Amino acid sequence: MRILFLLSLALILNTAPSYGQFGKLLDKAKSAVNKEEGGLDIGNGLKEALQVGVDDAVSSLSQKNGYLDSPFKVLIPADARKVVATVSKVPGFTNVETDLINKMNEAAELAAKKAGPIFLDAIKKMTIKDATNILMGEQDAATTYLEGTSRKTLYQAFMPVIQNALDEVGARSLWTKTVNTYNKIPLKKKLNPDLDDHVNNKALDGMFSMVKEKEEGIRNNAGLRTSPLLKKVFAKQDK
């Protein structure tokens, strides 16, 4: 289409080129079209790869026990372990660590359901230049790009969901009781680590880790390239 446009323009302006000039013009037009189409292929291929990774991550982690039974299970915050370890010795709080872990992971699962549209928006904004650099970059270059363009937005979107979910599953009330009990113990420094921020960040860490695993799989295993476009684009980085 672009080649025909260039030729038509020459005729309209009554500047019909000589045969040699015509050949150069034609070659230049073909080169521009091929270059653009190649860039579009790379961009669309990487977007498809990221979408596959995102779909898998959201689907897996948002289901029941999606986080809890995965390598990305949300554990007690480091600065809260002393609180939990101490309070677990108090009658009625024996299972506080297990209960908190279960509730935090349930909250993360609820938040994960909100991630899809935000990821999609970030993926759509990838430019051809971004895509070309990513394709020939590190094994996790696409995931790194996605995290850089979407993590802040995801964190902000997750926070009210995390907070509501922590309330919904009873994690916040359990945490408040745990901290209050700990702070009543004589000679203990009063503590109240931020549970919301911890669960939010760990939920996002797990999600991006799953996307990273999917990207690395597609890059290194041709059998995971499930569409003609993925096969075509990632064959370029195999060379």
- pLDDT band per the 50, 70, 90 thresholds, residue 68: very high
- pLDDT band per the 50, 70, 90 thresholds, residue 213: very high
Q: Do 196 and 159 form a contact (C-beta atoms < 8 A)?
A: yes
Q: Do 232 and 41 form a contact (C-beta atoms < 8 A)?
A: yes
Residue-level pLDDT at 108: 92
Structure tokens at 89: 């010795």
Write the pLDDT tens digit of every residue in 139-186: 899 999 999 999 999 999 889 988 888 888 788 888 888 888 888 888
* 27 against 168, higher pLDDT: 168
Closest CA to 157 of 200, 198, 120, 195: 200
Please report, rounded to a whole number, the percentage of residues in the chain having pLDDT higher than 70.
Answer: 83
User: Within a 10 A sphere around the Cβ of 59, how many other Cβ atoms?
Assistant: 14
Write the pLDDT tens digit of every residue in 84-126: 888 888 888 888 889 889 989 999 998 898 888 888 888 888 8
What does the pLDDT average to over 32-45?
61
- pLDDT band per the 50, 70, 90 thresholds, residue 4: very low
Residue-level pLDDT at 71: 94
Closest CA to 57 of 234, 212, 166: 212
